[in-house]
Amino acid sequence: MPAPGRNRRDVAVLRVGHRPGRDPRLTTHVALTARAFGAGRLYLHPPDPELADRVASVVRKWGGRFEVVGAPAWTAVVQDFPGVVVHLTMYGEPLSRVLPRLRRARAVLVVVGGAKVPPGLFQAADLNVAVGSQPHSEVAALAVLLHGLGGQPPATRFRGAEQRIVPQTRGKRVVSPSRRHRR
């Protein structure tokens, strides 16, 4: 589900090539970026129940609707997705060229590869899209693409949040409904 105030497009992310035990921090950042920018789910190939539990904990605390779904076969997710499948790769077409088409789509699956992307993914995707044609973080590319689809993440808290950040010039302030405290 989109974040509050966001577009009504169904956006999902597929992380292909996750290495449980080796990639948890990077894949967690992919999940958190997807959630913050309005995606409703992350398909994770191969499945990693521990990572899914950690992300679920963040969703409980910070609100919104977002789930991590284990995907034993990435091909099934791509084949069954009822919308445009976008593979993020530095070898693809420029994002600026394909963004108008993506904005018209009712459903978008963004595929974020890992260390080794299966060659068949380039053929299976509807679009191979580059956010710049230089090596850089897949998390950055995901954020830029999702920002282009729906804009900046909402500054307010997500529905159902147990806590929220109060923006400040200096310091950190986190507010909880049950108690208010400074950090």
Give the per-residue pLDDT at 156. Answer: 66
pTM, two decimal places: 0.88
Beta pairing class for 173-175 and 180-182: antiparallel
Please give the single-letter amino acid code of residue 161: A
Beta pairing class for 10-16 and 41-45: parallel
Written as tens digits, the pLDDT of the chain (183 aa) is 344 334 568 999 999 988 777 778 999 999 999 999 999 999 999 999 999 999 999 999 999 899 999 999 999 999 999 999 999 999 999 999 999 999 999 999 999 998 788 999 999 999 999 998 888 899 999 999 999 998 777 666 788 888 888 888 999 998 886 554 444
Contact 61, 38 (CB under 8 A): no
Give the per-residue pLDDT at 115. Answer: 75
Please give the CATH topology (third level) of the domain spanning 10-153+160-182: Alpha/beta knot (3.40.1280)
Cis peptide before 4 (omega within 30 of 0): no
Q: Which residue has the tokens 């099934």?
A: 76
Query: What are the structural domain ranges in the chain?
Result: 10-153+160-182
Give the per-residue pLDDT at 161. Answer: 86
